[in-house]
Structure 1
Amino acid sequence: MTTVHPHPEEPAQMTTTLAPAPARQIVPPEDRFATELAFLAAHDSGPRPPAWRLTPRAVVTFVMGSAGSALKLPDDAEVPDGVPRRLVIEDKFVGDRALVERCVVTLAGERGLLLVGEPGTAKSMLSELLSAAVCGTSGLVVQGTAGTTEDQLKYGWNYALLLAQGPTRQALVPSPVLTAMSRGALARVEEVTRCLPEVQDSLVSLLSERRIAVPELAGTDDALAHAAPGFNLIATANLRDRGVSEMSAALKRRFNFETVGPIGDLDAETALVRGQARASVERAGAPFQVDDAVLEALVTAFRDLREGRSAEGWRWNGRRR
């Protein structure tokens, strides 16, 4: 049996139901703390560096929190939809406030920021938080490895378009760094010292001249890609990992170095581990049932291994300090 449309000349109307957005294991800080970012943008209307979403003072507050006190928006401030007029800003980075302030000052200038330290000291998390607060995205990132190439730091090509049209702006595939340059945003390079030295040094001219040459497009307006105001770069480096390539002196001079140390207070580190463990377990749909004594023992053991001595002063060779 065939069903005939009553008006064959009129196509049937079709509706499309969009599937809900899939859940994410890790929510980037610009989405997770979107309410805080919108609140701080309205709370502090002071001067901002070019292309910054927040003032430098508000960036520090976003990272370090409001010390448990609720901030209040000015009476004449325009409140975005869904943003309360009073809000407690969560503390996200357990560390020295002066360190974060120096990082913000560096990013407001024209020198790159290099966060160095031992593995597990939240260098990547700090770079994500700074990027989210400054430019609204932490996703313009290149992961440094021994296989990272210069193309991943500068640009590549869509080879189908390259064969069809030759070297054109449309065929060029910008790297996250080049995208950040064009937007006036922050780019991130994780584990920069794991890249080969010749790949690292491709950042030298980029950081000093603030432009990338595209010789394939010579003779056109796109032969030079200039950085828009607000562009800067945050790199991280673990100093203890094997396979680390030493940075050249020329590249080091383009960065301000900031050392991110381990958390000094046992209680603060235990609270941080508890919060991260609870969030991880709850994402898996299971209840968090770990005794505080177990957490403290684990944190203490890792602190002893990291420092090479126990909390009581015993060193690894069995001698008391």
Structure 2
Amino acid sequence: MNFRPRVFGFVQAFAVILSLALPLVVAATSADARIGGGVSSGSRGARTFSAPPSTSTAPNAAQPFNRTITQPGSPGLGTPGGGFFNRPGMGLFGGLAAGFLGAGLLGMLFGGGMFGGIGGFSSIIGLMLQIGLIVFLVRLAMSWWQRRHESQTAYAGGPSPLSAQASYGSGMGFGLGSGSAPVQILPADYESFERLLGETQDAYSNEDVARLHTLATPEMVSYFVRDLDQNRARNVVNKVAATRLLQGDLAEAWREGDADYASVAMRYSLIDTYVDRATGRVVEGNGQPEEVTEVWTFLRPRGGNWELSAIQQT
């Protein structure tokens, strides 16, 4: 039998998957500081799993959430039909891991160990099954990735804010949005969003968890506390200073039950460093201002104040 065409096809497909995976791995392992750790965290109510419309401030689609308590419609860990590889957050690579594990188990069943050799006819059959299963999984993963990319492209082509910019607060501008949002966002609301941008950064930098509880949802505070604990384990403090809003505009605003939501694209500058907890010596960061563009979602209970509900990278 000639296995060369099949093996070559598998190698090509697997190389494509690796090329797609590498940027995600680099993004997930980069040493981003600032509040939120440079990842997408939180919830946007019923719109958690749909990307907010792009804006002039954030023309690229917002990234899906890495951390969220909101559950998708599919079963996950601890639910009927769920399992370890189906739990939220595993996604594409969880499925591939399950496929490789399954292929390895097939190899052991045919007596060759994990991806055993082809010393006998049964081993050859086992190898064929392994390759077929992996190619099927790779094609399935590539199809999933293509659909996801097309969905993000569709979001990127969504309604854009009006070109006119209205200045609020310190003079930095928020766009007026597309005008289709069912919740009216007033100048005082924009001022609250800008204030929350600075105050949450300051509270996080000071490790003031009590203050964070007054500025963000319990879900977001739980992520901040986890990040602060990791900093303590490294014996460092994430110091954020000189936070300044440069540009912002409204992506969408809506109402769910007794709560209002507003997703706002914000480009801001800050000085972001890690310092040694004992000596105060800077161990990461150059002390120079850097620019960041994120989509922040705010939640306002009826009769309450706006609080941070989610941060998404762009």
Q: TM class by shorter-chain length?
A: under 0.3
More relative contact order in 1 or in 2 (CA 8 Å, sep 6+)?
Answer: 2
Question: More strand by proportion, 1 or 2?
Answer: 2
| TM-score, normalization by structure 2 | 0.21
Question: Larger Cα Rg: Structure 1 or Structure 2?
Answer: 1
| TM-score, normalization by structure 1 | 0.21
